[in-house]
Amino acid sequence: MTGTLHPPPEFWRNGTDNDIEGMRRTRSGWMLQLFAIAVGISHGRTEGVEMDVLKQIVRNEGALALYKGATPPAVGWAAIDSVLLGSLHNYRLFLLRHGMSEPTPHSGAPRLTILGHGIAGLLAGALIATPMELLKVKLQLQSQKSVVDRRFTGPIHCAREIARVQGPLGLWSGFTGTVASRVNFFWMFLSFEVFMRGFGKLAGTPFEVNTGLANFLSGGFGAFTYWIMAIPADNVKNRMMAYPYPDAYPASNSTVGLKVPSFSRTAREIFLHDGYVGFFRGLGPCLLRAFPVNASALFVYEGLMRLLGAEQTRQ
């Protein structure tokens, strides 16, 4: 079967499936995401810092504080996943059609190369990720127990205040960090395909697994690969977005300008304070969250693609 680009209706059909998937991701992995960000921007010792952060959040703000900042991702991840996975599918087909193919063993049918899967993942990042991530970080770092004591009362108020203080482009603070982090989807989707082919080689053996389980496991292991590669840039991004934390965010009528430090400056500060270890803070919570969330996501996505007859890059 030859790869062809699908018309817009299929892209939007993919998008609807991924809207549901984005909201499911928010529910299933939110507490660990908050935990990872709080650990990632902390300075000082490394031993036991995860439990200290967890205890401080619950002690100061209560258990419900573990869901702070969940509204932007609940909406944003739906949009981001629609763009990410919808464009991923079309990039795969485009690359298959333009020479990045190889014959499938046994059948000889063309399939996308492993490198092609990685490049498709690299190209499928979404610009809308930065504002959503920024609002999430700002809201999660508010440690006041009472809502009236917080600088931001919610995501809409947070976005409005950022625009007033920094201008509309302030919502894209940390954009370079977002890009540096999200390019690592190259490794996620490349490794996903490597694992899928590895499971495929188990066919006819006592360890053979069905396609759905292979999707689930490959998605989880691929997420491990992504976070191991992405966590340094993700920590830099979170520090950029958190600025001027732990100082208070300026009032909207403040005459003092707010200039977010660059990616390189933030990376140097992390290294000076914590060394190389500082770039990998929060990796443990990220890995705990990564497997179930992404395994489920790719299980659903790949299953729907097969159900709709849209999978043409893996024979």
Per-residue pLDDT, 189: 92
Give the residue among 241, 230, 244 at the shortest CA–CA distance from 287.
230
- As given in the structure block, the two tokens for residue 164 are 């007033």
93 within a domain of the structure (yes/no)? yes
Q: Would you give the DSSP letter of residue 47?
A: T
Mean pLDDT by runs of 10 across the 315 residues of the chain is 40 41 44 53 55 62 58 62 79 90 87 92 73 86 77 88 89 91 91 95 93 95 95 93 84 69 93 92 87 90 86 68
78 within a domain of the structure (yes/no)? yes
What is the 3-state composition of the chain as percent helix, strand, coil, each rounded to the nearest 5? 70, 0, 30
313 within a domain of the structure (yes/no)? no
Per-residue pLDDT, 90: 86
75 within a domain of the structure (yes/no)? yes
Q: What is the pTM of this model?
A: 0.73
Number of residues assigned to the chain: 315
124: domain CATH number is 1.50.40.10
Domain that holds residue 79: 16-306
Per-residue pLDDT, 62: 62
Q: Is residue 26 within 8 Å of residue 74, measured between CB atoms?
A: yes
Q: How many domains does the chain have?
A: 1
156 within a domain of the structure (yes/no)? yes
2 within a domain of the structure (yes/no)? no
Q: Which amino acid type is present at position 175?
A: F
Per-residue pLDDT, 35: 47
Residues 6+ apart with CB under 8 A from 288: 32
Per-residue pLDDT, 52: 64
5 within a domain of the structure (yes/no)? no
68 within a domain of the structure (yes/no)? yes
